[in-house]
């Protein structure tokens, strides 16, 4: 690894306040890259849209200088531009649903200007940026990371969520109106055409799970798994199981960011189709609903369900997991692997999962060894009832899960894969384009 390697990270995902999966992975990735070289962050949004002044100061101090890149709104394009100023949010949403999705993977002159100028200046001087890392394909391409090869600079793409799987999983859901299905099918077709070429602008790509490797058409792909997040100074410790007969021994917990559609729709379905059967079979059973960005309407609606307690944001995840017997991940669609599953296991709690929540963990967390995987609502009801009735089994599954997390999901292994990938692309540095 060369000394003084200068790395530019391009994304719309900042590292600070890592309470949601995207920011957690960003934080871990930047921690790993800091072991290799010096960092500069190019974030595609206004600072006030991404982080507070305190978070910005922390980012500068910990990760390196941060450049905020203005993005051209979708509604600023023809034919929407003349009316966008009247209803900007509505017009941007309309443009998203009607314009070609290939726009998402094109160079944005505004957003890419800082990186292109830095690449051009470094190439002219014979020095400068040694590596560009883009997180998520769309912001990476719009922010100029896909242009690095033109200047002889290697680049790596962190795909994280495979773009088409989010839309395809939504199409598999029930109850979608015909117009929404038509829009989703159109998006999938456009993504299938645009995404492969955009990915090949990068020298290497990371995906989150072995099951994603086959979905990515790229000559150089490796698995960089999501991890249960913890600050370096306070690693996750398994929590003691609740005392028999305590309130915690009768409590399951679900935790998520509730502004994300698959999360709140999944909980709606769980409360409608699963939880009533659990309460009938286990009188006194409780469900703690924890997490961030819960709307007042959600809080009020879910709080009316018998047995449900609204916990909301947890300053300490240890406290939340200490107060439950097991966790639940009732997610039925969406992209990526579900960090909440391995987060629960890291705290010593098993997690009752839908088949979708188990996706990506099949090889490392086989169904039934540490987590019950439910193929349908009836099976999820049975799994929850059995754990409430057999707390010793819940404890054994949690203990087995913690051991599997320690084996497969350590930061050391994560950082080692980052270093291997960087060494590989540096050895294969492309020549400067003429």
From first CA to last CA, the distance across the chain in angstroms is 27
114: pLDDT strictly greater than 60: yes
How far apart are the C-alpha atoms of 422 and 430, rounded to whole Å? 14
> Is the Cβ–Cβ distance between 157 and 202 less than 8 Å?
yes
pLDDT digits (tens, 9 = 90+) for 210-235: 888 988 999 999 999 999 888 877 88
pLDDT digits (tens, 9 = 90+) for 59-103: 888 888 999 999 999 888 889 989 999 999 899 989 988 899 899
**Which pLDDT score, from 0 to 100, does residue 229 have?**
85
126: pLDDT strictly greater than 50: no
Token reading at 94: 């309309």
Triad 284, 275, 273: Cα angle to 5°: 155
- Global pTM reads 0.88
Instruction: Indicate the pLDDT class of residue 179, thresholds 50, 70 and 90.
Output: confident
DSSP 431: P
Q: Taking Cα atoms as reference points, which of 322, 300, 304 lies closest to residue 312?
A: 300
Q: Which residues contact 38 (CB under 8 A, 6 or more apart)?
A: 4, 5, 6, 7, 64
Q: How far is CA 378 from CA 149, 190, 275, 298, 327, in A?
A: 52, 36, 10, 25, 17
Instruction: Indicate the pLDDT class of residue 48, thresholds 50, 70 and 90.
Output: low
pLDDT averaged over every residue in the chain: 91
**Which pLDDT score, from 0 to 100, does residue 374 have?**
97
392: pLDDT strictly greater than 70: yes
Conformational region of residue 348, where left means phi above 0, alpha means psi within -120 to 50, and beta covers everything else: left
Q: Taking Cα atoms as reference points, which of 335, 344, 351, 352 lies closest to residue 138?
A: 335
How far apart are the C-alpha atoms of 104 and 388, rounded to whole Å? 47
Token reading at 314: 């947890």
> Is the Cβ–Cβ distance between 43 and 11 less than 8 Å?
yes
Token reading at 351: 């997690």
More confident residue, 190 or 20: 190
> Over pLDDT 90: what percentage of the chain?
69
The answer to whether domain 6-72+108-227+411-427 and domain 248-408 are alike in fold is yes
How far apart are the C-alpha atoms of 159 and 163, rounded to whole Å? 8
**Which pLDDT score, from 0 to 100, does residue 59 have?**
81
Mean pLDDT within 42-59: 79
How far apart are the C-alpha atoms of 283 and 238, rounded to whole Å? 28
**Which pLDDT score, from 0 to 100, does residue 432 have?**
40
Which CATH code is given to the segment(s) 248-408?
3.40.50.2000
Mean pLDDT within 280-302: 96
**Which pLDDT score, from 0 to 100, does residue 125 have?**
47
CATH architecture of 6-72+108-227+411-427: 3-Layer(aba) Sandwich (3.40)
Alpha-helical runs (H) found in 152-274: 163-171, 178-199, 210-213, 261-273
More confident residue, 137 or 431: 137
Triad 214, 215, 216: Cα angle to 5°: 95
**Which pLDDT score, from 0 to 100, does residue 222 have?**
96
Token reading at 17: 């306040």
pLDDT digits (tens, 9 = 90+) for 329-342: 999 988 778 999 99
Mean pLDDT within 104-132: 86
Mean pLDDT within 200-216: 93
Domain boundaries, the chain: 6-72+108-227+411-427, 248-408
290: pLDDT strictly greater than 90: yes
Mean pLDDT within 138-167: 91
How far apart are the C-alpha atoms of 408 and 401, rounded to whole Å? 11
How far apart are the C-alpha atoms of 307 and 271, rounded to whole Å? 10
């Amino acid at each position: 690894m060369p000394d003084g390697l200068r790395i530019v990270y391009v994304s719309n995902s900042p590292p600070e306040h890592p309470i949601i999966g995207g920011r957690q992975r960003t934080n871990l990735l930047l921690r790993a890259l800091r072991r290799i070289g010096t960092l500069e962050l190019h974030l595609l949004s206004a600072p006030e849209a991404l982080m507070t002044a305190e978070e910005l100061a922390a980012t500068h101090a910990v990760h390196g200088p941060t450049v905020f890149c203005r993005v051209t709104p979708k509604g600023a394009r023809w034919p929407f531009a003349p009316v966008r100023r009247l209803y900007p949010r509505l017009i941007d949403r309309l443009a998203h649903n009607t314009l070609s999705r290939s726009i998402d993977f094109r160079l944005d002159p505004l957003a890419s200007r800082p990186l292109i100028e830095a690449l051009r200046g470094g190439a002219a001087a014979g020095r400068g940026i040694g590596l560009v890392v883009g997180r998520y394909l769309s912001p990476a391409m719009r922010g100029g990371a896909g242009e690095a090869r033109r200047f002889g600079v290697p680049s790596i793409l962190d795909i994280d969520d495979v773009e088409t799987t989010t839309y395809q999983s939504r199409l598999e859901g029930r109850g979608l109106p015909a117009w929404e299905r038509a829009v989703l099918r159109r998006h999938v077709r456009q993504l299938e055409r645009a995404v492969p070429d955009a990915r090949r602008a990068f020298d290497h790509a990371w995906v989150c799970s072995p099951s994603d490797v086959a979905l990515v058409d790229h000559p150089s792909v490796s698995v960089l798994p999501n991890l249960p997040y913890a600050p370096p100074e306070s690693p996750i410790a398994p929590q003691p199981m609740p005392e028999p007969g305590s309130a915690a021994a009768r409590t399951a917990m679900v935790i998520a960011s509730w502004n994300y559609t698959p999360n709140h729709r999944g909980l709606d379905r769980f409360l409608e189709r699963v939880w009533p059967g659990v309460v009938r079979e286990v009188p006194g059973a409780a469900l703690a609903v924890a997490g961030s960005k819960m709307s007042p309407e959600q809080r009020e609606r879910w709080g009316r369900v018998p047995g449900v307690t609204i916990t909301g944001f947890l300053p300490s995840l240890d406290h939340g997991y200490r107060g439950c017997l097991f966790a639940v991940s009732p997610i039925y669609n969406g992209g990526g692997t579900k960090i909440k599953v391995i987060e629960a296991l890291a705290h010593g709690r098993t997690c009752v999962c839908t088949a979708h929540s188990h996706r990506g963990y099949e090889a490392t967390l086989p169904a039934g060894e540490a987590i019950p995987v439910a193929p349908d609502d009836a099976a999820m009801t049975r799994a929850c009832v059995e754990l409430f009735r057999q707390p010793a089994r819940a404890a054994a599954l949690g203990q087995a899960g913690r051991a599997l997390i320690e084996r497969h999901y350590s930061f050391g292994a994560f950082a080692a894969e980052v270093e291997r990938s960087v060494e590989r692309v540096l050895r294969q540095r492309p020549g400067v384009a003429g």
